[in-house]
Amino acid sequence: MLAALRCIVYRDLLLALRRRSDVATALLFFIIVASLFPLGIGAEPNLLRSIAPGVIWVAALLSSMLSLGRLFAADYADGTLEQILLGAAPLGAVVAAKALAHWLVSGLPLVLIAPVLALQYDLALPLFWVLSLSLLIGTPVLSMIGAIGAALTLGLRGGGVLLSLLVLPLYVPVLIIGAGSVDMAAAGLAPDAQLLLLAAMLITAAAFAPWAVAAALRISIE
Amino acid sequence: MSTDSLKWLWYASPQTFYPLAGILARGCAVAAAVLAVIGLYIGFFVAPTDAQQGEAYRIIFIHVPAAWMSMFLYVVMAFWAAIGLAFNTRLSGMMATALAPTGALFTFVALWTGALWGKPTWGTWWVWDARLTSELILLFLYLGFMALQAAIDEPRRADRAGAVLAIVGVINIPIIYYSVEWWNTLHQGASVSLKSAPSMAATMFAGMIVMAAAFWMYSIAVTLVRVRCIILERE
């Protein structure tokens, strides 16, 4: 079973590598959205410092949502998904592997580029770690929850907008706790509680989301 | 025992439920009208004027029951959705579909009357209070559920996809509520709190309970009428 999962992660990564522009688009979107806020709000350093965690987190949310549509769409279009459903590997595990691959392609780059954006927003250096760590723990949760929405909207008219309507309200707790951890650190307090809560969400999502995604895929395919 | 359960299952079929729903809907609609008249009478004429908030507080006779129903209906919707998913019964999915618009309506009414109440009392239409924010997100969840069902042409798939979403949503509601409440205390402190409101007079409470019962009956009536329409459409 592990071999099958490794194979799926490897395959999805390879596919992403062959179509690098898709990955780059989501990342660019993240950078551009985060860069637009100072232009709209004004470049007053104190203001920027106070909105930075929220803005970067919201940008990460939107960017990871943009790439969700691709999670199952291509496999659905060429029939691979049906083969996976018929195959011997448990669907929940396959889905978890696909979500992991999605995170490696769309979440991890955000985590790596976030410190650069934090520089733009003049965040204090110790906060970089908290921001990156919160994104590192939080973005996989986004991939997991997003996979549920992607599976439900598979092959529907206006899938993209519908997907955001379904998924964004469910993202709220991750946004609050994730941005809250940086705020907490900025206020000079230990952000441990928020980071642990994020980790708890990650574990909960990892345990239950694949199950829901599998159910949703079965409904969408039949 | 087996005959009892058979009697219940008898109504699980849309065909047999259709006439029953008609009778129940009529009864509940009458009950809702009577209770609403009693509740509004208590609210406008019997309940005393609030010492601090004046007459403006009287909107709570609409606001509080609407907020209760908005949350309760989501749970009921998720319950029917789960039943439908587990037992593959057609009627359960129809119930969930029929409940969603009423739930969304009550959520909207709760938000709207809350704004009308907030303006004279708090001096602002909207605050990012934990309850207001989670009520707003609840409205988004309802709208997402309805949008998903509207986007799927095949009714059975719509029912089951909506069911998965409703169940995921109902698991998330407590998480959303507590995270928002926590965020609220982190960001702005307790500037406005509903919890510090003075304990209310018995007549006010009675008025609210009667109005809640009226809204409950109204929800049942409207949902059953909508279920009848869905049955006619599909069967």
Rounded to a whole number of angstroms, the distance from the CA of A202 to the nearest CA of chain B is 13
Inter-chain CB proximity A180 and B182 less than 8 Å: yes
pLDDT for B186: 59
pLDDT for A50: 87
Write down the mean pLDDT value for chain A: 89
Residues of B in contact with A219 (CB under 8 A): 157, 160-161, 164
Inter-chain CB proximity B165 and A166 less than 8 Å: yes
The amino acid present at B60, given as its one-letter code, is: I
> Tens digits of per-residue pLDDT, B200-209?
677 888 888 8
Of residues B222, B203, B193, the one with CA closest to residue B61 = B203
pLDDT reading at B190 higher than 60: no
* ipTM of this complex: 0.86
What is the share, in percent, of chain B residues with pLDDT greater than 70?
89
Inter-chain CB proximity B151 and A201 less than 8 Å: no
What is the share, in percent, of chain A residues with pLDDT greater than 70?
100
| Chain A, nearest residue to B133 by Cα | A172
For residues A208 and A31, give the distance between their C-alpha atoms in angstroms, rounded to a whole number.
31
pLDDT reading at B189 higher than 60: no
Nearest to B164 among A152, A173, A183 (CB): A152
Tell me which DSSP letter residue B196 carries: T
Please compute the mean of the pLDDT values over residues B72-82 and round it to a whole number. Answer: 93
Residues of B in contact with A220 (CB under 8 A): 157, 161
Rounded to a whole number of angstroms, the distance from the CA of A220 to the nearest CA of chain B is 7
Lookup: tokens for B226: 């909508």
Q: Is A58 on the interface with B (CB under 8 A)?
A: no
Inter-chain CB proximity B182 and A176 less than 8 Å: yes
For residues B160 and B115, give the distance between their C-alpha atoms in angstroms, rounded to a whole number.
35
Please compute the mean of the pLDDT values over residues B130-149 and round it to a whole number. Answer: 90
Collapsing DSSP states into helix, strand and coil, what is residue B54? strand
Inter-chain CB proximity A222 and B157 less than 8 Å: yes
Q: In a mutagenesis test of the A interface, which of B172, B175, B186 is the best target, namely the one with the most A β-carbons within 10 Å? A: B175
Sequence-ordered list of residues with C-beta below 8 angstroms from that of B152, at least 6 positions apart, any chain? A156, B158, B161
pLDDT for B194: 52
Delimit the domains of chain B by residue range: 17-234
Q: Is B150 on the interface with A (CB under 8 A)?
A: no
What are the residue ranges in chain A where pLDDT is below 70? none
* Of B167 and B180, the one with more pLDDT: B167
